[in-house]
Chains A and B, each alone.
Chain A
Amino acid sequence: MLLFGSKSLGMSSLQRTSLFDLHRALGGKIVPFAGWEMPVQFAGVRAESLAVRGGCGLFDVGHMGQLDARGEGVTSALNAIVSSDWSSVRVGRAAYALLLNLSGGVHDDIMGYRLGEDHWLIVVNASRAASDEAWMRHLLPSSVSLRNRYENQAMIAVQGPRAEEILQPLCALDLSQMTLRDVVQTEVLGQQATVARGGYTGSDGFEWMGDAATAPLVWQVLLDGGATPCGLGARDVLRLEAGLPLYGHELGEGWTPDESGVSFAVKPAKGDFMGREALLARRAGSETKQTIRGLKMLGRAIPREGYAVLQGGTQIGAVTSGTLSPALDVGLALAMLPADLPVESVVDVAIRGALHPAQIVATPFVPRTTKTRASSS
Protein backbone atom coordinates (compact mmCIF):
# COMPACT_ATOMS: atom_id res chain seq x y z
CA MET A 1 0.00 0.00 0.00
CA LEU A 2 1.19 3.51 -0.77
CA LEU A 3 -0.92 6.03 1.00
CA PHE A 4 -1.09 9.75 1.59
CA GLY A 5 2.31 10.58 3.03
CA SER A 6 1.16 13.09 5.58
CA LYS A 7 2.57 11.25 8.59
CA SER A 8 6.07 10.90 7.29
CA LEU A 9 6.53 14.52 6.28
CA GLY A 10 7.42 17.18 8.77
CA MET A 11 4.65 19.74 8.57
CA SER A 12 6.02 22.13 11.15
CA SER A 13 7.09 24.78 8.67
CA LEU A 14 3.79 24.75 6.80
CA GLN A 15 1.20 27.50 6.90
CA ARG A 16 -2.39 27.04 7.99
CA THR A 17 -5.51 28.92 6.97
CA SER A 18 -7.79 30.32 9.65
CA LEU A 19 -10.14 27.39 8.96
CA PHE A 20 -7.58 24.75 9.96
CA ASP A 21 -9.03 23.95 13.39
CA LEU A 22 -12.52 23.60 11.89
CA HIS A 23 -11.17 21.19 9.27
CA ARG A 24 -9.59 19.02 11.93
CA ALA A 25 -12.72 19.08 14.06
CA LEU A 26 -14.70 17.88 11.04
CA GLY A 27 -12.30 14.95 10.54
CA GLY A 28 -10.59 16.38 7.49
CA LYS A 29 -7.53 14.45 6.33
CA ILE A 30 -4.76 17.04 6.33
CA VAL A 31 -1.91 16.91 3.82
CA PRO A 32 0.92 19.25 2.90
CA PHE A 33 0.10 21.18 -0.27
CA ALA A 34 2.21 23.97 -1.79
CA GLY A 35 3.54 25.04 1.58
CA TRP A 36 0.21 24.76 3.38
CA GLU A 37 -1.51 22.17 5.54
CA MET A 38 -4.80 21.65 3.72
CA PRO A 39 -7.67 19.16 3.92
CA VAL A 40 -7.52 16.69 1.02
CA GLN A 41 -10.83 15.12 1.99
CA PHE A 42 -13.53 14.96 4.64
CA ALA A 43 -16.22 12.28 4.13
CA GLY A 44 -14.60 11.07 0.92
CA VAL A 45 -13.67 12.39 -2.49
CA ARG A 46 -16.55 10.65 -4.26
CA ALA A 47 -19.24 11.82 -1.85
CA GLU A 48 -17.85 15.34 -1.84
CA SER A 49 -17.65 15.68 -5.61
CA LEU A 50 -21.17 14.31 -6.00
CA ALA A 51 -22.37 16.80 -3.36
CA VAL A 52 -21.04 19.62 -5.53
CA ARG A 53 -22.74 18.30 -8.66
CA GLY A 54 -26.08 17.79 -6.92
CA GLY A 55 -26.11 20.23 -4.01
CA CYS A 56 -23.47 22.50 -2.55
CA GLY A 57 -19.85 21.98 -1.49
CA LEU A 58 -17.50 24.27 0.42
CA PHE A 59 -13.79 24.53 -0.32
CA ASP A 60 -11.14 26.29 1.72
CA VAL A 61 -8.96 27.93 -0.94
CA GLY A 62 -7.33 30.34 1.46
CA HIS A 63 -3.93 28.98 0.48
CA MET A 64 -4.13 30.68 -2.91
CA GLY A 65 -2.12 33.87 -3.13
CA GLN A 66 -4.06 37.13 -3.04
CA LEU A 67 -2.41 40.23 -4.41
CA ASP A 68 -4.03 43.63 -4.15
CA ALA A 69 -2.91 46.08 -6.84
CA ARG A 70 -4.09 49.65 -6.93
CA GLY A 71 -3.07 53.09 -8.09
CA GLU A 72 -3.28 55.28 -11.15
CA GLY A 73 -2.54 53.34 -14.32
CA VAL A 74 -2.75 49.94 -12.64
CA THR A 75 -4.94 48.44 -15.36
CA SER A 76 -2.63 49.35 -18.24
CA ALA A 77 0.39 48.34 -16.17
CA LEU A 78 -1.09 44.90 -15.39
CA ASN A 79 -2.18 44.59 -18.99
CA ALA A 80 1.46 44.89 -20.02
CA ILE A 81 2.23 41.83 -17.86
CA VAL A 82 -0.67 39.38 -18.34
CA SER A 83 -1.59 37.46 -21.50
CA SER A 84 -5.28 38.35 -21.85
CA ASP A 85 -6.75 41.81 -22.36
CA TRP A 86 -7.46 43.22 -18.92
CA SER A 87 -8.01 46.73 -20.31
CA SER A 88 -11.31 45.47 -21.70
CA VAL A 89 -12.43 44.07 -18.32
CA ARG A 90 -14.99 46.40 -16.77
CA VAL A 91 -15.17 47.26 -13.07
CA GLY A 92 -17.10 44.46 -11.36
CA ARG A 93 -15.86 41.74 -13.69
CA ALA A 94 -13.16 39.08 -13.41
CA ALA A 95 -10.85 37.62 -16.04
CA TYR A 96 -8.53 34.66 -16.43
CA ALA A 97 -4.99 35.21 -17.66
CA LEU A 98 -1.56 33.66 -17.88
CA LEU A 99 1.81 34.92 -16.81
CA LEU A 100 4.17 33.84 -19.56
CA ASN A 101 7.89 33.39 -19.09
CA LEU A 102 10.42 34.85 -21.48
CA SER A 103 10.37 31.74 -23.65
CA GLY A 104 6.60 31.83 -24.07
CA GLY A 105 5.93 29.06 -21.54
CA VAL A 106 3.41 29.40 -18.73
CA HIS A 107 4.72 30.62 -15.38
CA ASP A 108 1.28 30.71 -13.77
CA ASP A 109 -2.42 31.00 -14.50
CA ILE A 110 -4.23 33.67 -12.53
CA MET A 111 -7.59 35.37 -12.01
CA GLY A 112 -7.91 39.15 -11.94
CA TYR A 113 -10.95 40.72 -10.25
CA ARG A 114 -11.43 44.37 -11.21
CA LEU A 115 -12.80 45.89 -8.03
CA GLY A 116 -12.48 49.55 -9.06
CA GLU A 117 -11.30 51.78 -11.85
CA ASP A 118 -7.75 51.55 -10.45
CA HIS A 119 -8.06 48.55 -8.18
CA TRP A 120 -7.52 44.81 -8.86
CA LEU A 121 -7.49 41.73 -6.70
CA ILE A 122 -5.32 39.04 -8.29
CA VAL A 123 -5.59 35.41 -7.15
CA VAL A 124 -2.68 33.15 -8.03
CA ASN A 125 -1.60 29.56 -7.41
CA ALA A 126 -0.14 29.06 -3.94
CA SER A 127 3.03 27.50 -5.29
CA ARG A 128 3.66 30.51 -7.55
CA ALA A 129 2.55 33.32 -5.27
CA ALA A 130 6.03 34.43 -4.19
CA SER A 131 7.50 34.49 -7.69
CA ASP A 132 4.36 36.03 -9.24
CA GLU A 133 4.55 38.80 -6.67
CA ALA A 134 8.25 39.35 -7.33
CA TRP A 135 7.69 39.55 -11.09
CA MET A 136 4.87 42.03 -10.69
CA ARG A 137 6.79 44.13 -8.20
CA HIS A 138 9.65 44.31 -10.68
CA LEU A 139 7.42 45.20 -13.64
CA LEU A 140 4.83 47.53 -12.12
CA PRO A 141 5.52 51.31 -12.08
CA SER A 142 5.93 53.16 -8.80
CA SER A 143 2.46 54.68 -9.16
CA VAL A 144 1.00 51.24 -8.48
CA SER A 145 0.99 49.78 -4.99
CA LEU A 146 1.13 46.00 -4.82
CA ARG A 147 0.30 44.42 -1.50
CA ASN A 148 0.09 40.73 -0.73
CA ARG A 149 -2.67 39.70 1.65
CA TYR A 150 -0.90 36.50 2.79
CA GLU A 151 -1.08 37.35 6.50
CA ASN A 152 -4.77 38.10 6.48
CA GLN A 153 -6.24 36.43 3.41
CA ALA A 154 -9.09 33.95 3.28
CA MET A 155 -11.07 32.49 0.42
CA ILE A 156 -13.98 30.06 0.41
CA ALA A 157 -15.45 28.57 -2.77
CA VAL A 158 -19.17 27.74 -2.50
CA GLN A 159 -19.93 25.42 -5.39
CA GLY A 160 -22.91 23.58 -6.82
CA PRO A 161 -26.50 24.10 -7.92
CA ARG A 162 -27.59 25.04 -4.36
CA ALA A 163 -24.72 27.54 -3.84
CA GLU A 164 -26.85 30.62 -4.46
CA GLU A 165 -29.61 29.44 -2.15
CA ILE A 166 -27.16 28.63 0.67
CA LEU A 167 -24.99 31.76 0.37
CA GLN A 168 -27.83 34.24 -0.15
CA PRO A 169 -29.03 34.47 3.50
CA LEU A 170 -25.55 35.69 4.54
CA CYS A 171 -25.50 38.47 1.95
CA ALA A 172 -27.02 41.91 1.70
CA LEU A 173 -26.66 41.75 -2.05
CA ASP A 174 -29.05 39.93 -4.43
CA LEU A 175 -26.93 37.06 -5.74
CA SER A 176 -29.43 36.19 -8.47
CA GLN A 177 -28.35 39.37 -10.27
CA MET A 178 -24.79 38.06 -10.63
CA THR A 179 -23.54 35.97 -13.54
CA LEU A 180 -20.27 34.15 -14.15
CA ARG A 181 -17.23 36.42 -13.62
CA ASP A 182 -19.20 39.19 -11.87
CA VAL A 183 -17.49 40.44 -8.72
CA VAL A 184 -18.81 42.76 -6.00
CA GLN A 185 -17.37 44.29 -2.85
CA THR A 186 -20.09 43.88 -0.29
CA GLU A 187 -20.87 42.69 3.21
CA VAL A 188 -21.29 39.05 4.15
CA LEU A 189 -22.50 38.43 7.71
CA GLY A 190 -21.98 42.14 8.22
CA GLN A 191 -18.28 41.93 7.41
CA GLN A 192 -16.51 43.45 4.44
CA ALA A 193 -15.99 40.85 1.71
CA THR A 194 -15.50 40.36 -1.99
CA VAL A 195 -17.98 38.00 -3.66
CA ALA A 196 -17.51 36.65 -7.19
CA ARG A 197 -19.62 34.26 -9.21
CA GLY A 198 -17.46 31.45 -10.50
CA GLY A 199 -15.11 28.79 -9.25
CA TYR A 200 -13.07 25.89 -10.46
CA THR A 201 -15.54 23.02 -10.61
CA GLY A 202 -17.57 23.57 -13.78
CA SER A 203 -20.67 23.90 -11.61
CA ASP A 204 -22.36 27.16 -10.68
CA GLY A 205 -21.01 28.80 -7.56
CA PHE A 206 -19.40 31.70 -5.76
CA GLU A 207 -16.11 32.70 -4.23
CA TRP A 208 -15.99 34.57 -0.96
CA MET A 209 -12.80 36.49 -0.27
CA GLY A 210 -12.31 38.31 2.99
CA ASP A 211 -10.31 38.54 6.17
CA ALA A 212 -8.88 35.46 7.86
CA ALA A 213 -10.64 36.31 11.12
CA THR A 214 -14.06 36.33 9.42
CA ALA A 215 -13.67 33.09 7.50
CA PRO A 216 -14.50 30.58 10.29
CA LEU A 217 -17.91 32.17 10.92
CA VAL A 218 -18.74 32.29 7.19
CA TRP A 219 -17.65 28.65 6.83
CA GLN A 220 -19.70 27.53 9.82
CA VAL A 221 -22.86 29.36 8.76
CA LEU A 222 -22.60 27.89 5.25
CA LEU A 223 -22.19 24.40 6.74
CA ASP A 224 -25.22 25.01 8.94
CA GLY A 225 -27.09 26.05 5.80
CA GLY A 226 -26.54 22.63 4.28
CA ALA A 227 -23.24 22.85 2.41
CA THR A 228 -20.87 19.85 2.40
CA PRO A 229 -17.23 20.42 3.41
CA CYS A 230 -14.95 19.37 0.55
CA GLY A 231 -11.20 18.90 0.28
CA LEU A 232 -8.62 19.50 -2.39
CA GLY A 233 -9.14 15.94 -3.65
CA ALA A 234 -12.70 16.67 -4.75
CA ARG A 235 -11.63 20.03 -6.12
CA ASP A 236 -9.10 18.29 -8.37
CA VAL A 237 -11.64 15.69 -9.53
CA LEU A 238 -14.25 18.34 -10.29
CA ARG A 239 -11.92 20.59 -12.28
CA LEU A 240 -10.77 17.56 -14.27
CA GLU A 241 -14.36 16.56 -15.03
CA ALA A 242 -14.87 20.15 -16.19
CA GLY A 243 -11.76 19.90 -18.41
CA LEU A 244 -10.03 22.75 -16.57
CA PRO A 245 -6.20 22.78 -16.53
CA LEU A 246 -4.16 22.76 -13.32
CA TYR A 247 -0.77 24.40 -12.95
CA GLY A 248 1.99 21.81 -12.69
CA HIS A 249 -0.07 19.27 -14.61
CA GLU A 250 -1.49 20.72 -17.85
CA LEU A 251 0.32 24.05 -17.47
CA GLY A 252 4.04 24.56 -16.98
CA GLU A 253 7.13 26.55 -17.87
CA GLY A 254 8.02 24.24 -20.76
CA TRP A 255 4.71 24.31 -22.61
CA THR A 256 3.17 27.17 -24.57
CA PRO A 257 -0.46 28.18 -23.93
CA ASP A 258 -1.31 26.55 -27.27
CA GLU A 259 0.10 23.23 -26.11
CA SER A 260 -1.67 23.55 -22.75
CA GLY A 261 -4.99 24.27 -24.48
CA VAL A 262 -5.39 27.78 -23.06
CA SER A 263 -4.68 29.89 -26.15
CA PHE A 264 -8.08 31.55 -25.58
CA ALA A 265 -6.36 33.44 -22.73
CA VAL A 266 -3.68 34.94 -24.99
CA LYS A 267 -4.44 38.17 -26.85
CA PRO A 268 -1.34 39.24 -28.78
CA ALA A 269 -3.33 41.87 -30.67
CA LYS A 270 -3.79 43.95 -27.51
CA GLY A 271 -0.13 45.03 -27.53
CA ASP A 272 3.02 43.94 -25.75
CA PHE A 273 3.07 41.80 -22.64
CA MET A 274 5.52 39.53 -20.91
CA GLY A 275 6.42 36.54 -23.09
CA ARG A 276 4.50 37.78 -26.12
CA GLU A 277 7.42 37.99 -28.54
CA ALA A 278 8.78 34.59 -27.56
CA LEU A 279 5.37 33.01 -27.95
CA LEU A 280 4.83 34.62 -31.37
CA ALA A 281 8.28 33.44 -32.46
CA ARG A 282 7.46 29.91 -31.36
CA ARG A 283 4.14 30.06 -33.18
CA ALA A 284 5.87 31.26 -36.36
CA GLY A 285 8.50 28.54 -36.07
CA SER A 286 6.17 25.59 -36.10
CA GLU A 287 2.58 24.55 -35.86
CA THR A 288 1.36 23.28 -32.52
CA LYS A 289 1.98 19.56 -32.79
CA GLN A 290 0.83 18.51 -29.35
CA THR A 291 -1.90 19.74 -27.08
CA ILE A 292 -3.95 18.73 -24.05
CA ARG A 293 -6.70 16.30 -25.04
CA GLY A 294 -9.48 14.54 -23.16
CA LEU A 295 -9.37 10.75 -22.71
CA LYS A 296 -12.21 8.53 -21.55
CA MET A 297 -11.34 4.97 -20.58
CA LEU A 298 -13.31 2.20 -22.28
CA GLY A 299 -12.69 -0.26 -19.42
CA ARG A 300 -12.58 0.07 -15.65
CA ALA A 301 -8.89 0.82 -15.07
CA ILE A 302 -8.13 4.34 -13.85
CA PRO A 303 -5.62 6.54 -15.70
CA ARG A 304 -3.10 8.46 -13.56
CA GLU A 305 -0.58 11.22 -14.16
CA GLY A 306 2.52 10.02 -15.99
CA TYR A 307 0.99 6.96 -17.63
CA ALA A 308 2.09 6.58 -21.25
CA VAL A 309 -0.45 6.88 -24.07
CA LEU A 310 0.18 4.70 -27.12
CA GLN A 311 -1.20 4.21 -30.58
CA GLY A 312 -0.33 1.11 -32.54
CA GLY A 313 2.22 0.21 -29.88
CA THR A 314 4.13 3.51 -30.15
CA GLN A 315 4.06 6.07 -27.40
CA ILE A 316 2.38 9.28 -28.56
CA GLY A 317 2.07 11.13 -25.26
CA ALA A 318 1.36 10.91 -21.56
CA VAL A 319 -1.40 11.53 -19.05
CA THR A 320 -1.09 14.88 -17.22
CA SER A 321 -4.05 14.31 -14.83
CA GLY A 322 -6.29 11.31 -14.35
CA THR A 323 -9.01 10.12 -12.03
CA LEU A 324 -12.13 8.08 -11.71
CA SER A 325 -15.04 10.43 -12.39
CA PRO A 326 -17.69 10.00 -9.69
CA ALA A 327 -20.23 11.79 -11.90
CA LEU A 328 -19.66 9.56 -14.94
CA ASP A 329 -18.33 6.45 -13.14
CA VAL A 330 -15.51 6.04 -15.65
CA GLY A 331 -11.80 6.83 -15.73
CA LEU A 332 -11.00 10.22 -17.28
CA ALA A 333 -7.72 11.87 -18.13
CA LEU A 334 -6.20 14.94 -19.64
CA ALA A 335 -3.13 14.02 -21.67
CA MET A 336 -0.52 15.76 -23.81
CA LEU A 337 -1.15 14.20 -27.22
CA PRO A 338 -0.82 14.93 -30.94
CA ALA A 339 -3.07 17.86 -31.80
CA ASP A 340 -4.31 16.21 -34.98
CA LEU A 341 -5.73 13.03 -33.39
CA PRO A 342 -9.42 13.06 -34.32
CA VAL A 343 -12.06 12.94 -31.60
CA GLU A 344 -13.30 9.36 -31.08
CA SER A 345 -9.87 7.92 -31.97
CA VAL A 346 -9.08 4.94 -29.78
CA VAL A 347 -5.66 4.92 -28.12
CA ASP A 348 -4.11 2.80 -25.35
CA VAL A 349 -3.10 3.86 -21.86
CA ALA A 350 -0.27 1.79 -20.36
CA ILE A 351 -1.27 0.86 -16.83
CA ARG A 352 1.12 -1.40 -14.88
CA GLY A 353 2.42 -2.99 -18.05
CA ALA A 354 -0.93 -3.65 -19.70
CA LEU A 355 -2.60 -1.61 -22.44
CA HIS A 356 -6.09 -0.31 -21.69
CA PRO A 357 -8.12 1.28 -24.50
CA ALA A 358 -9.39 4.84 -24.20
CA GLN A 359 -11.18 7.19 -26.53
CA ILE A 360 -10.24 10.77 -27.40
CA VAL A 361 -13.21 12.92 -26.38
CA ALA A 362 -14.02 16.62 -26.33
CA THR A 363 -13.86 18.44 -23.00
CA PRO A 364 -15.50 19.33 -20.67
CA PHE A 365 -16.26 15.70 -19.83
CA VAL A 366 -19.11 16.83 -17.58
CA PRO A 367 -21.12 19.69 -19.11
CA ARG A 368 -20.54 22.99 -17.33
CA THR A 369 -23.50 24.45 -15.46
CA THR A 370 -21.98 27.81 -14.64
CA LYS A 371 -24.43 30.73 -14.77
CA THR A 372 -23.21 32.60 -17.81
CA ARG A 373 -25.00 35.67 -19.12
CA ALA A 374 -26.37 33.65 -22.01
CA SER A 375 -27.69 30.86 -19.75
CA SER A 376 -29.36 33.25 -17.31
CA SER A 377 -31.24 35.42 -19.81
Chain B
Amino acid sequence: MNTPTELLYTPSDEWVRDNGDGTFSIGITDYAQHELGEIVYVELPEVGQSVAADGTFGVVESVKAVGELHSPLSGQVVEVNAAPVQTPELVNQSPFENGWLIKVRPAETPDLSGLMNAQDYAAYRAS
Protein backbone atom coordinates (compact mmCIF):
# COMPACT_ATOMS: atom_id res chain seq x y z
CA MET B 1 0.00 0.00 0.00
CA ASN B 2 1.44 3.31 -1.12
CA THR B 3 1.04 6.14 1.42
CA PRO B 4 2.90 9.36 0.47
CA THR B 5 4.28 11.11 3.55
CA GLU B 6 3.50 14.69 2.48
CA LEU B 7 -0.26 14.07 2.54
CA LEU B 8 -2.91 13.96 5.26
CA TYR B 9 -5.58 11.27 5.38
CA THR B 10 -9.23 10.83 6.41
CA PRO B 11 -10.65 7.73 8.10
CA SER B 12 -12.89 7.40 5.02
CA ASP B 13 -9.80 6.99 2.78
CA GLU B 14 -9.44 10.39 1.15
CA TRP B 15 -6.12 12.26 1.05
CA VAL B 16 -5.44 16.04 1.18
CA ARG B 17 -2.46 17.89 -0.22
CA ASP B 18 -1.67 21.45 0.90
CA ASN B 19 -0.69 23.11 -2.36
CA GLY B 20 0.83 26.07 -0.48
CA ASP B 21 -1.16 28.62 -2.50
CA GLY B 22 -4.26 28.60 -0.33
CA THR B 23 -5.73 25.58 -2.15
CA PHE B 24 -5.90 21.94 -1.16
CA SER B 25 -6.09 18.96 -3.53
CA ILE B 26 -8.24 15.96 -2.61
CA GLY B 27 -8.28 12.40 -3.89
CA ILE B 28 -8.75 8.84 -2.70
CA THR B 29 -5.99 6.63 -1.34
CA ASP B 30 -4.26 3.65 -2.87
CA TYR B 31 -5.98 1.49 -0.26
CA ALA B 32 -9.39 2.85 -1.32
CA GLN B 33 -8.87 2.32 -5.03
CA HIS B 34 -7.63 -1.19 -4.37
CA GLU B 35 -10.58 -2.07 -2.14
CA LEU B 36 -13.06 -0.63 -4.62
CA GLY B 37 -11.55 -2.45 -7.58
CA GLU B 38 -11.72 -1.27 -11.16
CA ILE B 39 -13.28 2.19 -11.09
CA VAL B 40 -15.78 2.68 -13.90
CA TYR B 41 -17.52 5.95 -13.00
CA VAL B 42 -16.45 9.17 -11.28
CA GLU B 43 -18.88 11.97 -10.42
CA LEU B 44 -17.46 15.28 -9.15
CA PRO B 45 -18.89 18.71 -8.30
CA GLU B 46 -18.70 21.77 -10.58
CA VAL B 47 -16.13 24.50 -10.14
CA GLY B 48 -17.62 27.15 -7.87
CA GLN B 49 -19.65 24.77 -5.74
CA SER B 50 -19.11 24.70 -2.00
CA VAL B 51 -18.06 21.60 -0.11
CA ALA B 52 -18.42 21.12 3.64
CA ALA B 53 -16.05 19.30 5.95
CA ASP B 54 -17.34 15.70 6.24
CA GLY B 55 -19.92 16.42 3.54
CA THR B 56 -20.05 14.31 0.38
CA PHE B 57 -18.79 15.87 -2.83
CA GLY B 58 -19.14 13.04 -5.34
CA VAL B 59 -18.72 9.32 -5.91
CA VAL B 60 -16.31 6.83 -7.39
CA GLU B 61 -17.98 3.62 -8.50
CA SER B 62 -16.86 0.16 -9.49
CA VAL B 63 -19.16 -2.18 -11.39
CA LYS B 64 -20.73 -3.37 -8.13
CA ALA B 65 -19.99 -0.72 -5.50
CA VAL B 66 -20.52 2.98 -4.88
CA GLY B 67 -17.84 4.84 -2.91
CA GLU B 68 -18.98 8.21 -1.55
CA LEU B 69 -16.37 10.95 -1.44
CA HIS B 70 -16.14 12.90 1.82
CA SER B 71 -14.47 16.28 1.92
CA PRO B 72 -11.85 16.70 4.64
CA LEU B 73 -12.40 20.48 4.74
CA SER B 74 -14.90 23.22 3.92
CA GLY B 75 -14.41 25.59 1.01
CA GLN B 76 -15.10 26.37 -2.60
CA VAL B 77 -14.20 24.04 -5.47
CA VAL B 78 -11.70 25.97 -7.62
CA GLU B 79 -10.62 23.17 -9.96
CA VAL B 80 -11.97 19.76 -10.98
CA ASN B 81 -9.82 17.11 -12.60
CA ALA B 82 -11.66 16.15 -15.79
CA ALA B 83 -9.23 13.31 -16.55
CA PRO B 84 -10.67 10.68 -14.14
CA VAL B 85 -14.23 11.67 -15.13
CA GLN B 86 -13.33 10.81 -18.72
CA THR B 87 -11.03 7.90 -17.82
CA PRO B 88 -12.10 6.52 -14.43
CA GLU B 89 -9.38 3.85 -14.28
CA LEU B 90 -6.89 6.70 -13.87
CA VAL B 91 -7.89 6.70 -10.19
CA ASN B 92 -6.75 3.08 -9.94
CA GLN B 93 -3.55 3.70 -11.82
CA SER B 94 -2.49 6.95 -10.16
CA PRO B 95 -4.59 7.76 -7.09
CA PHE B 96 -2.15 10.35 -5.70
CA GLU B 97 -1.01 12.06 -8.91
CA ASN B 98 -2.97 11.99 -12.20
CA GLY B 99 -6.06 10.65 -10.46
CA TRP B 100 -6.53 13.60 -8.07
CA LEU B 101 -10.16 14.72 -7.95
CA ILE B 102 -10.78 18.32 -6.84
CA LYS B 103 -8.99 21.42 -5.55
CA VAL B 104 -10.69 23.35 -2.77
CA ARG B 105 -10.00 26.89 -1.49
CA PRO B 106 -11.12 27.30 2.13
CA ALA B 107 -12.39 30.71 3.26
CA GLU B 108 -10.05 30.59 6.22
CA THR B 109 -7.18 28.43 7.38
CA PRO B 110 -8.73 24.99 7.79
CA ASP B 111 -8.46 22.90 10.93
CA LEU B 112 -6.81 19.71 9.74
CA SER B 113 -5.97 18.42 13.19
CA GLY B 114 -8.54 15.63 12.87
CA LEU B 115 -6.71 14.09 9.91
CA MET B 116 -4.07 11.38 10.05
CA ASN B 117 -0.49 11.58 8.88
CA ALA B 118 0.84 8.88 6.57
CA GLN B 119 2.22 6.74 9.35
CA ASP B 120 -1.03 6.78 11.34
CA TYR B 121 -3.12 6.15 8.24
CA ALA B 122 -0.99 3.21 7.20
CA ALA B 123 -1.32 1.77 10.70
CA TYR B 124 -5.08 2.44 10.68
CA ARG B 125 -5.53 0.51 7.43
CA ALA B 126 -3.16 -2.26 8.37
CA SER B 127 -5.08 -3.04 11.55
Q: How many A-B residue pairs have CB under 8 A?
A: 63
| CB pair A47 B38 closer than 8 Å | yes
| CB pair A2 B68 closer than 8 Å | yes
| CB pair A324 B68 closer than 8 Å | no
A201 CB to nearest chain B CB (Å): 15
A-side contacts of B12, CB under 8 Å = 1-2
CB contact between B66 and one of A233, A237, A300, A304 (< 8 Å): that residue: A304
Can you name the residue of chain B whose Cβ is closest to the Cβ of A331? B41
Say yes or no: A4-B59 contact (C-beta < 8 A), given A44-B37, A46-B38, A324-B41: no
Residue tally, chain A, CB below 8 Å to B: 22
- Cβ of A3 under 8 Å from chain B: yes
List residues 295-352 of chain A with CB under 8 A from any CB of chain B: 300-302, 304, 323-324, 326, 352
- Cβ of B30 under 8 Å from chain A: no
List residues 8-65 of chain B with CB under 8 A from any CB of chain A: 12-14, 28, 32, 35-38, 40-41, 43, 59-65
A154 to B119, CA, bound (A): 44
| CB pair A46 B68 closer than 8 Å | no
| CB pair A300 B64 closer than 8 Å | no
- Cβ of A132 under 8 Å from chain B: no
A1 to B125, CA, bound (A): 13
| CB pair A44 B32 closer than 8 Å | no
CB contact between B28 and one of A1, A236, A237 (< 8 Å): that residue: A1
| CB pair A45 B43 closer than 8 Å | no
A-B contacts besides A44-B63, A46-B63, 15 pairs, CB < 8 Å: A1-B35, A1-B36, A1-B69, A1-B70, A2-B68, A3-B35, A45-B63, A46-B40, A47-B38, A236-B64, A302-B40, A302-B41, A302-B61, A302-B66, A326-B63
Chain A residues within CB distance 8 Å of chain B: 1-4, 40-41, 44-47, 49, 233, 236-237, 300-302, 304, 323-324, 326, 352
